Amino acid sequence: MEERSRHPYYPRDNPDMTVYWDGVRRGELLYQVCNACAEVIFHPRVLCPYCLSDALRYERSAGHGNVYSFTIQHYATSPAWRWKKTRTPSG
């Protein structure tokens, strides 16, 4: 990714995600399909989680669908809140 990937709020680039993020930069949503078992896979992976095959290909989404759920990630923006990020029930 570009320089901005050093910022903690941007996703980190890694070889397994390069094709996906290249598609995002072009305005495309890509997902994987396993050539061995035909399962659809998202988020990008090296192996199919259903059959463990490495024969995966990328397909482009048609651009429409339904959102069934989502999450919001919260980050500590102030040093005063960082303790909450690492605190566990046992300590």
Tell me the per-residue pLDDT of 56-72, one tens digit each, with 9 for 90 and over. 999 999 988 888 998 88
- How far is residue 63 CA from its own chain's centroid? 17
- How far is residue 69 CA from its own chain's centroid? 15
Assigned token pair, 19: 């094709």
**How much is the pLDDT for 82?**
67
**Stretch 17-38: mean pLDDT, rounded?**
93
Q: Of 73, 70, 68, 38, whose CA–CA distance to 53 is shortest?
A: 38
Q: Determine contact, residues 22/16, Cβ cutoff 8 Å.
A: no
**How much is the pLDDT for 1?**
43
29-to-4, 20, 40 alpha-carbon distances in Å: 21, 8, 13
